[in-house]
Chains A and B, each alone.
Chain A
Amino acid sequence: MANRSVVPFGPQHPVLPEPIHLDLVLEDEKIVEAIPKIGYVHRGLEKLVEKRDFNDFVYIAERTCGICSFMHGMGYVEAMERIFDAEIPPRAKYLRTIWCEMSRIHSHLLWLGLLADGFGFEALFYQCWRMREKVLDMFEEATGGRVIFSVNKIGGVLKDMPKEMLAKFVHNFNEIEKELKDLTEVFLTDYSVESRLRGVGILTRDDAIRLGAAGPMMRASGISIDTRSIGYAAYEDIDFDIVTSNDCDSYARCEVRIKEIFQSIEIIRQAVEKIPGGEISIDIKGNPKGEAFTRVEQPRGEAIYYCRANGTKFLERFRIRTPTFANLTPMLYTLKGAELADVPLLILTIDPCISCTER
Chain B
Amino acid sequence: MATKVAKSPWLLHYDGSSCNGCDIEVLACLTPIYDVERFGIINTGNPKHADILLITGGINTQNKAVVEQLYSQMPEPKVVCAVGICACNGGVFKECYNIIGGVDKVIPVDVYVPGCAARPNAIIDGVVKALGVLEEKRKNMKGGAAE
Contact = CB atoms under 8 A, between A and B. Distances in A.
A133 B62 contact: no
Contact of B92 (A42, A59, A146): A59
A69 B96 contact: no
A41 B17 contact: yes
Given A17-B24, A59-B92, A41 B18 contact: yes
B98 A43 contact: yes
A321 to B, nearest CB: 17
A181 B84 CA distance: 35
Interface residues of A, number: 40
A353 B24 CA distance: 12
Interface string A1-37: 0000000000111110111000000000000000000
Interface size class of B (residues with CB under 8 A): 35 or more
Contacts of A110: 24
Interface stretch (A44-52, A160-168, A247-255): A44-52
B147 interface: no
Nearest to B62: A39
A133 B28 contact: yes
A89 interface: no
A238 interface: no
Nearest to A136: B28
Interface stretch (A60-68, A224-232, A257-265): A60-68
B93 A18 contact: no
Contacts of A355: 15, 17-20
A130 B28 CA distance: 9
Contacts of B63: 11, 19, 40-41
A148 to B, nearest CB: 5
A129 interface: yes
B20 A353 contact: yes
Contacts of B95: 48, 51
Contacts of B18: 41, 66, 355
A156 B95 CA distance: 28
Interface of A: 11-15, 17-19, 39-45, 47-48, 51, 59-60, 63-67, 69, 110, 113, 125-126, 129-130, 132-133, 136, 146-148, 353, 355
17 contacts: A11-B63, A12-B12, A12-B70, A19-B14, A39-B62, A40-B60, A43-B60, A43-B98, A43-B99, A47-B96, A63-B21, A67-B20, A125-B31, A129-B32, A146-B117, A146-B119, A355-B20
Given A12-B12, A18-B15, A126-B32, 5 more contacts: A17-B13, A19-B63, A66-B18, A136-B28, A146-B25
